[in-house]
Structure 1
Amino acid sequence: MLAQTPVQIAWVTRDLDATEGALTSLLGAKKWVRMPGVHFGPETCTYRGEPADFVADISLSYAGATQLEVIAPGPGASVYTEFLDACGPGLHHVCVEVDDVAAALSERDAEVVARGVMPGGMEFAYVSAPAAGVPYLELAHIPDEIKSFFDYIKREQK
């Protein structure tokens, strides 16, 4: 089933404060929740088909029902550093929630750039179709514990 509504819009930046400020002004996000130093390790993540080992600072908020994510990559090569190096700061991906990441990947004709499980158990994969102007689409299976955390962030917007 490919007809899915994106649940998240994400930007990659070198400056969390500046991007949060701009998105607050432009989209009305009220409160940002930061997760500094999130580690994506080689035991659970790949990047371009190889084990990945990188860190990112992540900040989350909401504009209505849509989650806003701002990512500032730290040490290690990743889908985020690749984007910053090639394009500079900017809109990086939209995310759709799926029940099964492997099944969702099999339904799409796109290159898998990165895949893994982030701390907290959320499974993700980034696919790309850059020649068609689609840098990345994230497919994510979001477990109940992470959904509860997201609900907390959404409630903080009121």
Structure 2
Amino acid sequence: MTIASGPVIQVCWVVEDIEAAETFHSQHFGVGAWFRLPDIRFGPDEVTLHGDPADFTVHVSMAYAGDLQLELIQPVSGESIYTEHLARSGPGLHHICFETDDLDAAVDRARAAGLDVPQQGVMGGGLMSFAYVDGARWGVPYVELAQLSDGIRDLYAAIKDPR
């Protein structure tokens, strides 16, 4: 039984300075056209951290390398798996993201497999639902499972091809 069978759509780094990380990826790896969403707040009615309501703010920046979305997340305030990652490991690779058509079923399968799901919630009033599965066994801190709406797919398409 697989947890998710959708494609890997994203690789994400948690960073302390989002502008510096954008510059690094652009200068050294040719990644350009970053799309930054500053001060994205996740409130206690939208997200849980270790099963409890959470309240935090992050800066998010996205770009594409071919068909793969690259994401940068800089914690701004509050506690999240992003602040935990920085405290434990410093800046670096945080997660890969698998798309799923049924997030609730994927989370149930993860838990049935004995995997911890430390953070989950919704973004943008339901544009995207997400859950993070502990991925340490696979050499990546987390595996994100994401169920995307047509609205977020449209945003991603505009970021990928900003014409």
The question of a shared fold, defined as TM-score above 0.5 by the shorter chain, is answered with yes
Q: CA separation of 1:65/1:49 partners in 2, compared to 1, >3 Å: closer, same or farther?
A: same
Q: Any idea what the Cα deviations from partners look like across 1:26-76, whole Å, max 9, x if unmatched? A: 432121011000010101110011001000000010000000000000110
Give 1:7's match in structure 2, choosing from 6, 9, 16. 9
Unaligned runs of 5+ in 1: none
Q: Structure 1: how far apart are the matches of 2:157 and 2:68?
A: 11
Measured at CA, do residues 129 and 26 of structure 1 come closer, stay the same or move farther in structure 2, by a change above 3 Å? same
Q: Can you list the C-alpha shifts for 1:81-132, whole angstroms capped at 9, x where unaligned? A: 0000000000000001101111112222210010000115210000104255
Match of 2:100 among 98, 101, 124: 98
Question: In the alignment, residue 144 of structure 2 is paired with which amino acid?
Answer: E
Q: Partner amino acid for 1:141?
A: Q
Counterpart position of 1:124: 130
Q: Is 1:115 aligned with 2:123?
A: no
Query: Which range moves more in the overlay, 56-65 or 126-135?
Result: 126-135
Q: Does 1:151 align with 2:157?
A: yes
Unaligned runs of 5+ in 2: none
Contact 1:125 1:140 in 2 (8 A): yes
Deviation at 1:24, TM superposition (A): 1.6
The residue identity in structure 1 corresponding to 2:152 is I
Residues 119-153 of structure 1: CA deviation (Å, up to 9, x unaligned): 15210000104255331000000100010010000
**1:3-152 mapped onto 2 (5 Å cutoff):** 3-108=5-110, 109=113, 110-121=115-126, 122-152=128-158
TM normalised by structure 1 equals 0.93
Note closer, same or farther for the CA distance 1:94–1:129 as it changes in structure 2 (3 Å cut): closer
- Where 1:134 maps in the other structure, the secondary structure is coil
Moved more, 111-120 or 2-11: 2-11
Percent identical across equivalent pairs? 43
Distance (Å, rounded) in 1 between the aligned partners of 2:131 and 2:105 = 11
Q: Do the aligned residues in 2 keep the contact of 1:120 with 1:145 (CA within 8 Å)?
A: no
* Coordinate RMSD, CA, aligned: 1.5
